[in-house]
Structure 1
């Protein structure tokens, strides 16, 4: 679902990047510098920022042309392909490193693990990473959850380690494990509302519900003194093709 292209500028500025330690963790698991990296659903390049530091050629797959254009302008050294992971054809023998940042849930849950395994070379690495947006202050967390539930009681959050459990349960890869990185990120009212307005569940809601949600959250942040501090948990799931 291409919902992010309409907010490409906001997405690129509001979404937090990833800790640079991710690159060391990926390289350490892989065991050497990969000869090639392929990234699924690269967006505007939040994950690409980590992957290009591996000093290997990077190919980025991104279905939205607007996101792909921003990605290409930021990373001219990367090859950017417009299309879906399902449309992409891996080279003969597969690729040594396949990565995906915050886009694994957009892939077909029935086939994504098998397709990833088929795209990997023997001994190749799958690296999935993403953020879980929590709140450092439990009172802020409870107030925000109450406000969001009032607008949409059907909304749910995935468990922090859901990608790890997804890969493990599929049984396509070996040596599957997860690493976690945590940091606190204070955001002003405007920065927080900009971030929320880039989330997929927000963008798929009707415009009137979007406005109600931002108004309610804005009032809450004002009550908090104008700042929200995120408890940003980044998880990295790694698996190996036998």
Structure 2
């Protein structure tokens, strides 16, 4: 299944907001992925501004990042000057060597669904590791969460928003990998933490999500304004990252 390519690069419209408001990833996740993978060169698919890249770049000497949006790729180069950044889609990318690890943070669903597993196999060395992870974030207060969901639905936002469970994508990836004889050694892990967001950062976070980015600018401004009014002085956000690991046979 082909992906919505226009929507997959829409985040480049909000590079600064994305970098400022999106959460990073737990150090424990980076450790677990690197412990699972053999040593060797590493490939990241859909690196964005480097939210996951920074943690891996601090511990990996040979890291190549593929990023389809040139605006995000430029921000990534500035943030992580020691990594090799390739501007383009993973479908277009031709690996110049086999990789010991391929990881993708919050981006694997943007790779063509009919090609992505073949592409992963082509990029990985035998016994190379595949690490796919997605984050799900919701307000810790269930009443506020429910109010924000109702607001989103009122504006026709029903996916890729603050109420979608990205764990569903991890579960799908795990299921597909389990049925693919080219992969073995499957593992799945979950990481949860809480952060305090002030109102401005929360509204900025919501504005970086694709479901809100595709709204007409005046509509997006209206819904984000109403979000801010609901949040008041700020809120606690619960973050959950689901990780799926596998090895190429």
Question: What do the CA deviations read for 1:17-72 (whole angstroms, capped 9, x no partner)?
Answer: 11111121012212x4x211111111110010121133331001111111111111
Question: Which residue, 148, 156, 159 being the options, matches 1:155?
Answer: 159
1:220 aligns with 2:227: no
Aligned to 1:236: 243
1:206 maps to which of 201, 209, 216: 216
- Render the CA deviation track for 1:147-178: whole Å, top value 9, x for unaligned: 11111154362451422432432424212221
CA contact (8 A) 1:161 1:235 kept: no
Root-mean-square deviation (Å):
1.6
Map of 1:85-104 to 2, 5 A cutoff? Answer: 85-92=90-97, 94-104=98-108
TM, length-normalised to structure 2: 0.89
5+ residue gaps, structure 2, are 1-7
Extract unaligned runs of 5+ from structure 1.
Answer: none
Q: Which residue of 1 aligns with 2:145?
A: 141
Whether 1:65 and 2:75 are equivalent positions in the alignment is: no
Matches within 5 A, 1:1-242: 1-30=8-37, 32=38, 34-92=39-97, 94-152=98-156, 154-155=158-159, 157-170=164-177, 171=180, 172-222=182-232, 226-242=233-249
Instruction: Look up the SS of the partner of 1:54 in the other structure.
Output: coil
Q: Indicate conservation of the 8 Å contact 2:135/2:166, yes or no.
A: no
Change (3 A) 1:36 1:165: same
Going from structure 1 to structure 2, the CA distance change for 1:154 and 1:12 (only over 3 Å counts) comes to closer
Give distance in 2, aligned partners of 1:145 and 1:158.
13
User: How many positions carry a matched residue from both structures?
Assistant: 236
Shift of 1:204: 1.2
